[in-house]
Structure 1
Amino acid sequence: MKALVLDFGGVLTNDFWEVLRGFARREGLDENALVDLVTKDAEGVGLLRNLERGSIGQAEFEREMSVRLGVPADGLLARMAADLRPDDEMLSAVAELRAAGVKVGILSNSWGSDYFDPYAPWNLEERADVVIISDQVRLRKPDPEIFDLVLDKLGVPAAECLFIDDIAAYLEPARAKGMAVWHHADSAATVAELRRTFMSTSPS
């Protein structure tokens, strides 16, 4: 393996779904109100996908989602992301691999790029060789083309790349391209897999 591609939210950060639950609790909603809206409700799912692809802007998303949630629209995305925190264990492991010569790509379905930037505190361009944010390329996971794009920018064949995501459905198109995949659920387990994949050595 010569390259590693990772999701952002929920892989390089704390649990993404718990971030959304934290928002709901602060807003006085059922803790799964936002999670259910963006995973089970057809209109909510459609709004998020359109935001991720850049088909709608952040202001439109906030207006529409505020109506469905019954909360103020102003600053909605920032409030949704307020609990997002770096996963230092994962970030350190990725930095170690990159320093050892592994090419690193970050592939993220975004929340838009208008006025709220959830990526700003992470300095992703300094942590990775390639950063692909979905709304900027008008593609989103699991679109197969977005995996072609990251492989092309990294300059590696699919068979030499490991893709990690916390959403299992996003692994399948990567696997179909020939990439190795890992479903992230626990940082310690993922770091162990990274070390096994990239740092194991054959006995002499």
Structure 2
Amino acid sequence: MTSSVETGRTAVLIDFRGVVTTSVLSAFRSIGAEVGDAELPLTLLSRDEASRTLLSDYECGRICTDAFEECFARRRRVHGAQVEADGLAARMQANLARDEETIELLDGLRSAGVPVALVSNAFGRDTYAGFDLGALADVVIISSEVGIRKPSRRIYRIACDRLGIEPESAVMVDDLQQNLDGAARLGIAGVLHSDGAGTARELHDRFGLPALRR
């Protein structure tokens, strides 16, 4: 009988917001709901060209937090949402919390000798507050530090190079399909994250990587 396990995957690349933390989409909806339109922040960041450019520039470190806040608040006002610019980026992340199940998974993977790279699109100076990134991963790639953001193939290549592996040896865990699609262009397998337990099962069942310890 042929095994269903996809062999040859020996390393994990993992997203931060929405994977190591609770859902970014829920957090953005919460900040939208405060001014009466839960979907507006997500709609603008995914469909409004000016807002999409702002997000790209911010995550790549080309503009500072103050500039992003002022410009994104203005885009929201254009669409009928009266918001204060000051502290907007922090408010957009205020409802994010640690996902202890995923953190336990990362600890288990590394304890079992599986190299892990954190590959994250930054969202300002407070994105990683309260986290010891070095305790989460062997390699940390932050978009604002390398000037490249997911889903560009280049950021995944940097992560693989720093881990000393080929892309075909890696699995990418992310909560956004577009980021997995970008990684797939290099031959990196993908796991669409919804919760730590589900991701742990898929890493184990599909790739033969260590299961979440209980």
Normalising to structure 2: TM-score of the pair?
0.87
Cα RMSD for the two superposed structures: 1.4
Check the 8 A contact 2:19/2:99 in 1, yes or no: yes
Distance 1:195 1:76 in 2: 39
- 1:110 maps to what in 2? 122
Distance 2:210 2:26 in 1: 31
Aligned partner of 2:68 among 39, 58, 61: 61
Aligned partner of 2:156 among 132, 143, 147: 147
Q: Post-superposition shift, 1:68? A: 1.9
Q: Post-superposition shift, 1:103? A: 0.5
Q: Post-superposition shift, 1:2? A: 2.1
- Regions of 4+ moved over 3 Å: none
Distance 2:185 2:148 in 1: 17
- In structure 1, stretches of 5+ residues that fail to align are none
Which stretch of the first structure deviates more once superposed, 140-149 or 184-193?
A: 184-193
- 2:27 maps to what in 1? 19
Check the 8 A contact 2:112/2:210 in 1, yes or no: no
Distance 1:180 1:199 in 2: 16
* Match status 1:49 vs 2:60: no
Aligned partner of 2:177 among 156, 163, 168: 168
- 1:199 maps to what in 2? 210
Aligned partner of 1:93 among 105, 110, 116: 105
Check the 8 A contact 2:13/2:172 in 1, yes or no: yes
- 1:82 maps to what in 2? 94
Amino acid at match of 1:8: F
Distance 2:64 2:196 in 1: 32
Aligned pairs, number: 196
The structure with the greater share of residues assigned to helix is 1
Alignment partner of 2:185: what SS? helix
- 1:29 maps to what in 2? 36
Normalising to structure 1: TM-score of the pair?
0.91
